Amino acid sequence: MQKLCGLFLLMALSMASASAKDLKIYFIDVEGGQCTLIVTPKGESMLVDTGWPLNNSRDAERIAAQAKKAGIKQIDWLLITHYHNDHVGGITTLMDKMKVVNLVSHGPNTETGKGPEQLSKQWEEAKLKAKETIVKPGDRIPLKGAEIEIITARGETLSKASSLARGAGDNPLCGAATKKAVDPSENARSTGFLLKFGEFRFVDFGDLTWNKEMEVACPVNKVGKVDLYVTNHHGLWASNNPALTHALGAKVIVMNNGDKKGGEAPAIDSLRASPDLKNFWQIHYSINAGKEHNVEDPYIANLTSPGGFHIEVTAKTDGHFTVVNQRNKFTKSY
């Protein structure tokens, strides 16, 4: 009996040791906003955006609950991609629940008016509780256990290929690329980054829109090939320019949509046609897109609303990674 208990203990310690070497990424359901929690093997964390305000602190509760499950007690780095309600609106309620050590932004809000001014006020209040770092393209976030380089910020784009890129270079897709109307909003000023963990690459560009995506991808694809891509702008067709998304060569794409927000059929169809794509995962079933454009149910975290189920990624330094749908525990490895 003692030998059996010892064997179980050894197995448990072995599993814990293996887990401690992995990078974890949680795409938290904030009902069509953005919230991505990254936890490194060093135990440091970076949260990308905070979701919506109000709703009885729904998004802050979901973030805090997932952080607890991930074994972290604070957010070491909170990166706000841009000043829109579905990305920064939840910052006050989150910081009431969890300690945030460092804030990362592209600088002051570029939009004006009653709504933007309220978000700017919340940001100024948040800065009283944490240290702010203003970033520009080419800067690094010193997250222990992973490498992160800023690619876009405040409407500016990295001038050359990222030093973290794999397979960056001339992009043959640029010849057929066309521009759309200029976007003057905070979306086009989103802070985007490339994460490197050994051979694994992940990109998140917030709500970066069509023309700014072309600046990342054309004439040179500055971020190269990646393994994981979270859709820009919740899967809207104002973003997700194929000149970028197809050039990324992502094995897995996660769409951070809501049931009635994001997830437009043309964007979904284009993303699913990416030449190297293995699987497309969705945070929500998209009512707007219709059954013929949504993926199969196992790849959708929330089939109805309200949701609350997340998508979890575990990455290893050799580039292999696993994706889990928290709703049904459906798992795929790549």
pLDDT digit string (tens) for 204-242?
999 999 999 999 999 999 999 999 999 999 999 999 999
Closest to 23 in 3D by CA, of 324, 332, 317: 317
pTM: 0.93
CB 34 within 8 A of CB 51: yes
Q: Given this model, what pLDDT does residue 19 score?
A: 53
Instruction: Report the Cα 133 to chain-centroid distance in Å.
Output: 19
- Among 277, 228, 287, CA closest to 257: 287
What is the reported pLDDT for 10? 43
Strand pairing partners for 224? Answer: 166
C-alpha to C-alpha distance for 213 and 218, rounded to whole angstroms: 8
CA distance 334 to 21: 17
Predicted pLDDT of residue 55: 87
Whether omega before 275 lies within 30 degrees of 0, making that bond cis, reads no
* CA-atom Rg of the chain in angstroms: 19
- The gap from C-alpha 114 to its chain's centroid, in whole angstroms, comes to 28
Q: Dump pLDDT digits (tens) for 25-83.
A: 999 999 999 999 999 999 999 999 999 998 899 999 999 999 999 999 999 999 999 99
- Cβ neighbour number for residue 11 with a 10 Å cutoff: 10
Q: Which of 76, 24, 20, 84 is nearest to 52 (CA)?
A: 84
| Residue given tokens 């809207």 in the structure block | 236
Under-70 pLDDT residues of the chain: 1-19
User: Which residues lie closer than 8 Å to 131 by C-beta, 6 or more apart?
Assistant: 101, 102, 103
What residues does 200 pair with on adjacent strands? 197
* pLDDT at 2 (0 to 100): 52
What class is the 22-333 domain?
Answer: alpha beta
Cα–Cα distance between 122 and 56 in angstroms, integer?
A: 17
Write out the DSSP string of 52-119: -S-GGGHHHHHHHHHHHHTT-SEEEEEE---S-HHHHTTHHHHHHHSEEEEEEESSS----SHHHHHH
Instruction: Name the residue ranges covered by the structural domains of the chain.
Output: 22-333
d(CA 280, CA 257): 13
The pLDDT value recorded for residue 133 is: 98
Specify the pLDDT at position 3.
52
